[in-house]
Amino acid sequence: VKRVAIIGAGPIGIAAGIGALDRGFDVTLIEKGDAGQALCSWGATRFFTPLRMNITPRMHELLGRDAPPGDALLTGHEMIDLVLKPLTACEPLRGHVRERTRVTAIGRRGLTRADYAGHPLRAERPFRLILNDEEPIEADVVLDATGGFAVPNPIGAGGLPARGEGKLTRKPIRTLGALDEQLESLRGQRVLLVGDGHSAANAVLLLHETAEVIWVVRSMNRRPCEEIANDPLSERARVVSAANDLAENALHVERRCMVEAFDERNGAIEARLTSGRTLICDAVVALTGFHPNGNMHSELNVETSPVTEGAARLSRAIANATDCLAVPRVTFGDLASGEPNFWFIGSRSYGRVRTFLLQTGLAQLEMIFQCL
Ligand SMILES: Cc1cc2nc3c(=O)[nH]c(=O)nc-3n(C[C@H](O)[C@H](O)[C@H](O)COP(=O)(O)OP(=O)(O)OC[C@H]3O[C@@H](n4cnc5c(N)ncnc54)[C@H](O)[C@@H]3O)c2cc1C
């Protein structure tokens, strides 16, 4: 029986675990925190997509009568408590999940990345996964579901750190979950919000009644967050349009600029912008995106994209896809990583590409199962 190691128990790792067990593989699902860990950082933010788009019919069936309705727009915490945790606790996944175990490196037993590169002999050696503080494990197939939202991007212009960013004594808030937790402490304060993606739009709605928001956006548009005409995802449309209304009518918005430097004086933070202006604030909320953690694969022959940091072949195949709701048509070859029997799955495979949706990840996972 083939041994399948899956790294990361997010929605995709859990779907992969169930799919692999249903197909008769010997599965170990390894998670550095608790199942669904990444969704804890969403705070009160809801999925834009209804539950039926986020799980497979099989997962729905396993949840039985306790399954939330298919049209539910769950928060991250609800997804963990009502869907992901119950799935790890019931058959077939029960007993196959190792939580609080981090994979720190993966290689082929006894081979460096240069040994037998491209030769069929390489595929005959099992994978070896190094775990923190525990015995390494071996596997015939590895599915990397560690997510694309592992490391926050620096705050400064061009994705580089702003000068002084690392020295701020009041650390910038980097996730919606942390913002949710610290919201009360921001009451009446001047808050510099950086970013114009969906997370920033959510943050504006959370913050505007509590704090004095100064919103720094790269966009030059009066309505800085991208709006999709006739967006079929009503929750996304609501959040983006409400944030843009505030930007147009109520908030202090600094458009077409980024942060160059931070300096702390007398308890306040000075932020120098690329436009030349300097703003004074008490706290910084920086939602400037994330990238995957690429440290584990240095002895594998995986091809990661220099653009997205996701899977290289996939990134070329989806380069022109702009509508995240249309599951892009890809081939088996597009999903291959370059290292036989090693696959990037879920948001890890997309890296920095923002159009990833779970329904796409689930469809691609089905294709990968056909190759195993
Ligand atoms: C605020 C927000 C809202 C979103 N809304 C939607 C939406 O409405 N619809 C939609 O389809 N998508 C949405 N997404 C995008 C995406 O679907 C989610 O990020 C989703 O969580 C991705 O699932 P995943 O399983 O690929 O990765 P993740 O959920 O990120 O899971 C990765 C897991 O791997 C674990 N891990 C990482 N490194 C290691 C390691 N070395 N060893 C062991 N374990 C490790 C992590 O702890 C984590 O549990 C949203 C994303 C964000 C951030």
329-354 residue pLDDT tens: 899 999 999 999 999 999 999 999 98
Q: Please report the DSSP string for 203-235 in residue order.
A: HHHHHTTTSEEEEE-S--SSS-S---TT-S-HH
Give the chain's mean pLDDT: 95
Q: How far apart are CA 165 and CA 154, in angstroms?
A: 8
Q: Is 320 helix (H, G, I), strand (E, B) or coil?
A: coil
SS3 content of the chain, % helix, strand, coil (to 5): 35, 20, 45
How far does residue 33's CA lie from ligand 1's centre (Å)? 13
For atom 12 of ligand 1, which residue has the closest CA? 357
Q: Percentage of the chain surpassing pLDDT 70?
A: 100
The residue count for the chain = 372
Edge-first strand order for the sheet with 283-286 is: 252-254, 212-216, 190-194, 283-286
Kindly report the protein residue whose alpha carbon is nearest to atom 3 of ligand 1.
Answer: 47
Residue 116: HSE in the Cβ half-sphere, 13 Å Cα cutoff: 14
Question: Given the CA of residue 356, which atom of ligand 1 is nearest to it?
Answer: 15
HSE, side-chain direction, 13 A CA sphere, residue 268: 10
Which of the listed residues 31, 51, 234 should we mutate to test ligand 1's pocket, taking the one with most ligand atoms within 8 A of CB? Answer: 31
The pLDDT assigned to 303 comes to 96
Pocket of ligand 1 contains residue 304 by CB under 6 Å: no
Phi first, then psi: give them for residue 80, nearest 5 degrees: -65, -50
276-290 pLDDT, tens digit per residue, is 999 999 999 999 999
Look at residue 325 and tell me whether its pLDDT is greater than 80: no
**Token pair in block for residue 18:** 């169930």
Q: What is residue 341's predicted lDDT score, i.e. its pLDDT?
A: 96
Q: Which 3 state secondary structure label does DSSP give 122?
A: helix
Say whether pLDDT at 328 is over 90: no
Atom of ligand 1 nearest to the CA of 33: 47
> What are the tokens at 134?
């525990």
Which element (helix H / strand E) includes 77? Answer: helix 76-78
User: Can you tell me the distance from the alpha carbon of 143 to that of 294, in angstroms, rounded to the nearest whole number?
Assistant: 14
- Tens of pLDDT, residue by residue over 221-277, are 999 999 988 999 999 999 999 999 999 998 999 999 999 999 999 889 999 999 999
Residue 88 alpha carbon to ligand 1 centre in Å: 16
Pairing of strands 103-108, 127-131: antiparallel
How many whole angstroms separate alpha carbon 55 and alpha carbon 50?
Answer: 10
**Unique residue bearing structure tokens 């300096």:** 263
To the nearest whole percent, how much of the chain has pLDDT over 90?
91
State the pLDDT confidence band at 21, using cuts at 50, 70 and 90. very high
Is the shortest distance between the CB of 38 and ligand 1 below 6 Å? yes
- What's the confidence (pLDDT) of residue 209? 94
Indicate whether 181 pLDDT > 80.
yes
> pLDDT, tens digit, for every residue of 66-93?
999 999 999 999 999 999 999 999 999 9
Dist CA 17 CA 6 (whole Å): 7
CA 303 to ligand 1 centroid distance, Å: 21
Of 290, 297, 294, the closest CA to residue 306 belongs to 294
DSSP 125: S
**Hunting for tokens 């620096």 — which residue is that?**
154
336 touches 32 (CB < 8 A): no
Please check the confidence at residue 115 and state whether its pLDDT lies above 90. yes
Separation of CA 310 and ligand 1 centre (Å): 14
Phi/psi for 76 (5° steps) reads -55, -45
Q: Are 351 and 315 in contact (CB under 8 A)?
A: yes
Residue 211 β-bridge partners: none
Spatial CA neighbour of 40 closest among 239, 175, 185? 175
For 146-162, the pLDDT digits (tens) are 999 889 999 999 999 99
pLDDT over 80 at 321, yes or no: no
**pTM to 2 decimal places:** 0.95
